[in-house]
Structures are given as structure tokens and as C-alpha cells.
């Protein structure tokens, strides 16, 4: 089964609103695309469309949070991370305010919308901020758990979602916990640490590698900040080499976070697979993944070169 993480967000936000009247939703005129429109239709009195005014989006949400509400604000990642950055930094993070920032349309799989809408720097921007939690679910099932779970967490959260449909690769019965990763496939030759869509690509690559006698462990690192330091050290000790995979720039994203941990706690060789200092471009999602070396075939080739296989 494949399902877009933005769709799971809209459906779960609606259910959350039915259970908790402290949940409010705000959008910068993109609620139809982020799927927050489902909440708007049922709870118009708890929904605000700020128009194309992202600074106001964060400012109003901060006011709601200070009055005891739990605001979920949503827009495209390319707009919600850069245009109101000062508001996010000073209102949400400096004051440690309970705002949930939900960014859709991340990565090159946004597709035909082109490079201006394909946000590839948002993890770097958000994880640099004190107090900010940064999450990127592997699939729609994990998205549902995150949207529910962050309502119970008191503080700012950045939730990175996508337009494209992802395969469901996580277990519905497995609980999500901020700061924890999960081994989805075991192996002793190398560890593939992925986030978002790249978790399913890592699993595809691991299957191909297994056919060539290379056993790759696959880790879903959906909590990028805080990151699961213990799991990373365990994998480094047991497999020796680490490959990170993300639909994001190789600078400042998941790969950087992994290297920061391992360089201090258990240094091993790390290969970062992501977008190599380029902007996105218009095209179909699968074509763009291949163009940027993020498809499973490209991953296999890079892993083999890295481990000398």
C-alpha cells in the first residue's frame, strides 16, 4: 500500500480535533494542499487561514499556544521554514512555545512544481534551532502516530511531510517515540540509515544487495532531532560502516546529524547520500530521484563502492 504522508496528516488532525477541543489549525492559504482542509470543514471556528502571510501564521499560532491551545500550522516547506524564520526562532523556539509546524511538499518528489517549491534545506534550518524537535516519518502509518504523539509533547515541533505517495514500511503496532530510531531489517555488513521516503528506498536497496551477498541493516531514523545516539553507536560497532539517505541536501541534514554523533562517540566511515549541493528542478518524482541519485539502483551502486564490494 502507498499513501502520501500529507494525506495521513489531514486525516489524523481531523480525528485529533474531534477528541481534543484544544487543537486548533492554521494555514497560509494552502489548506487544500496540506490536507488541513479536512479540519477546516468540520471545525471552521477552530481554523484560521492567514492568507499568504507566513509571519502572521506563526505569530497568531504563538498567541493561541500562550492561551493554552495546541496549534498545528501547515504550509509548503519552502514557504513555512524561510519566510517566517525570525518568528519561528524568536517566538516559537526562544520562548519554547507549544507550536506544531507541519511542512508538506518536501524533497525533489514534489515533482513538476520545480526547484522553487522543492525544499531541500529545511532539516538543516530547523534542527539548528534550540528547543526545536525535528521529525520526518517513513510512511503514512508513522505520520499518524507522530501527529497524535506531538499533541502530548509541550514545545515546538517541526514535522516534515511530502506530496508523493510512500510505501508503508512500518509496523502499525510499533509505538513511535521522539528521539528513537528503529531497525527495520538486520544485517552485519553495513547500516543504511534513512529518513522519510528514503527508508523505503533503503529497504529496496538492501534487498538488491542481499542478492549480491551483502547484508545491509536498515534503520528508520524518523526522529532527526533529538536523534537516537545509542542506536547509531550500536550500529557503528556492529556493522562498521554507515550510509545515510535523505531527500535533502547532504549539508546539514540527517547525514550531518549522524556524523556529529559518531565523530564524538564512535568514529566510523560514513557515506552521506542526498542532494549534492544542487537545487531541484521540474520533472516526475521517479525521474528526479534517478537524476539526483536517490533511486534504489543508484543507492546500491554507491553502497558497493563505499564498502568495497
In 250-305, DSSP assigns E strands to 270-275
Q: Choose among 165, 227, 224, 195: nearest CA to 294.
A: 195
ω into 144 cis (within 30 of 0): no
Active-site residue, 2 included: no
Q: Which residue in the block uniquely carries the three cell numbers 509548503? A: 76
Question: Which of 42, 45, 54, 152 is labelled catalytic?
Answer: 54
Secondary structure letter of residue 175 according to DSSP: P
Q: Which residue in the block uniquely carries the three cell numbers 494552502? A: 30
Residue 61's CB is within 10 A of a number of other CB atoms, namely 30
Which set of grid coordinates corresponds to residue 146? 507522530
Residue 119's CB is within 10 A of a number of other CB atoms, namely 28
Evaluated on CA atoms 20, 41, 160, 55, the torsion sign reads negative
CB 170 within 8 A of CB 139: yes
Tell me the catalytic residues. Answer: 54
Amino acid at each position: 500500500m502507498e499513501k502520501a504522508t500529507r494525506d495521513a496528516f489531514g486525516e489524523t488532525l481531523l480525528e485529533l480535533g474531534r477528541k481534543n477541543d484544544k487543537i486548533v489549525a492554521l494555514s497560509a492559504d494552502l489548506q487544500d494542499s496540506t490536507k488541513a482542509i479536512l479540519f477546516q470543514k468540520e471545525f471552521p471556528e477552530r481554523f484560521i487561514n492567514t492568507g499568504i502571510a507566513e509571519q502572521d501564521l506563526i505569530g497568531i499560532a504563538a498567541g493561541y499556544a500562550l492561551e493554552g491551545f495546541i496549534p498545528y500550522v501547515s504550509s509548503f516547506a519552502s514557504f513555512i521554514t524561510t519566510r517566517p524564520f525570525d518568528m519561528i526562532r524568536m517566538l516559537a523556539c526562544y520562548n519554547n512555545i507549544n507550536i506544531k509546524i507541519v511542512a508538506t511538499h518536501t524533497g525533489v518528489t514534489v515533482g513538476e512544481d520545480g526547484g522553487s517549491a522543492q525544499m531541500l534545506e529545511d532539516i538543516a534550518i530547523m534542527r539548528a534551532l534550540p528547543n526545536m524537535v525535528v521529525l520526518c516519518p517513513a510512511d503514512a502509518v508513522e505520520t499518524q502516530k507522530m501527529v497524535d504523539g506531538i499533541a502530548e509533547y509541550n514545545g515546538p515541533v517541526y514535522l516534515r511531510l511530502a506530496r508523493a505517495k510512500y510505501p508503508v514500511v512500518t509496523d502499525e503496532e510499533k509505538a513511535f517515540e521522539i528521539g528513537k530510531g528503529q531497525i527495520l531489517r538486520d544485517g552485519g555488513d553495513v547500516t543504511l540509515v534513512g529518513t522519510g521516503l528514503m527508508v523505503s528506498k533503503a529497504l529496496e536497496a538492501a534487498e538488491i544487495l542481499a542478492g549480491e551477498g551483502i547484508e545491509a541493516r536498515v534503520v528508520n531514523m524518523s526522529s532527526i532531532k533529538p536523534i537516537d545516539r545509542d542506536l547509531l553507536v550500536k550500529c557503528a560497532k556492529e556493522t562498521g560502516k554507515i550510509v545515510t539517505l535523505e531527500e535533502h541536501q547532504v549539508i546539514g541534514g540527517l547525514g550531518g546529524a549522524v556524523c556529529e554523533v559518531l565523530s564524538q562517540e564512535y568514529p566510523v566511515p560514513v557515506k552521506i547520500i542526498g542532494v549534492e549541493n544542487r537545487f531541484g528542478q521540474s520533472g516526475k518524482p521517479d525521474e528526479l530521484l534517478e537524476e539526483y541519485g536517490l533511486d534504489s539502483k543508484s543507492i546500491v551502486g554507491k553502497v558497493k563502492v563505499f564498502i568495497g564490494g
